[in-house]
């Protein structure tokens, strides 16, 4: 019997070309602005770390790049405190810019608290992303 998991999905449209959003999703100094400090490289199979520093928790999230389709799709696993999920960003061009679909999948029933925390966290991160994109040329 397989265990059911939940997936968090958040979609936002940005008034920017997909290439600009891709830069913000894949360049370490830009990722640090909207998400966390990191040693990310958009290379399939590459291990990297996200460094969390917040009043509530500080630590490291271990990740591995799973999908790299420039300007279209990026996915990596997100392993923290015994919880292993997959984060996938899908970019779809629109008439006014680009639609971003962020999915974090793999939350099991016992991770309901993590799921709700992720929901709040990603809203904040994507708000930060919006600000980062507005500053980019």
Domains, the chain, with CATH or none? 5-135 (3.30.530.20)
Strands 97-108 and 73-80: unpaired
Residue percentage of the chain with pLDDT more than 70: 98
Q: How far apart are CA 18 and CA 103, in angstroms?
A: 17
Q: 80 or 21: whose pLDDT is higher?
A: 21
Mean pLDDT for 28-52 is: 97
Backbone CA torsion sign across 25, 29, 30, 33: positive
Average of per-residue pLDDT values in the chain:
94
Region of 96 please: left (phi>0), alpha (psi -120 to 50) or beta: alpha
pLDDT digits (tens, 9 = 90+) for 79-122: 988 899 999 999 999 999 999 999 999 999 999 999 999 999 99
pLDDT at 2: 60
Coil/strand/helix, residue 4:
coil
Does 125 score more than 60 pLDDT?
yes
pLDDT at residue 81, as a whole number: 82
Whether 61 and 52 have beta carbons less than 8 Å apart is answered as yes
Edge-first strand order for the sheet with 97-108 is 5-14, 97-108, 83-94, 73-80, 58-69, 47-53, 37-38
């Amino acid at each position: 019997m397989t265990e059911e998991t939940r997936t968090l999905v958040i979609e936002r449209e940005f008034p920017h070309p997909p290439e600009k959003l891709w830069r913000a999703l894949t360049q370490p100094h830009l990722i640090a602005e909207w998400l966390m400090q990191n040693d990310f490289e958009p290379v399939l199979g590459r291990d990297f770390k996200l460094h969390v520093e917040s009043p509530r928790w500080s630590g490291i999230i271990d990740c591995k790049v799973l999908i790299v389709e420039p300007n279209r799709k990026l996915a990596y696993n997100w392993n923290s405190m015994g919880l292993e999920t997959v984060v996938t960003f899908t970019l779809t061009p629109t008439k006014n810019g680009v639609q971003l679909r962020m999915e974090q999948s793999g939350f099991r029933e016992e991770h309901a608290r993590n799921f709700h925390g992720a929901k709040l966290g990603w809203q904040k991160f994507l708000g930060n992303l919006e600000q980062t994109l507005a500053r980019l040329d």
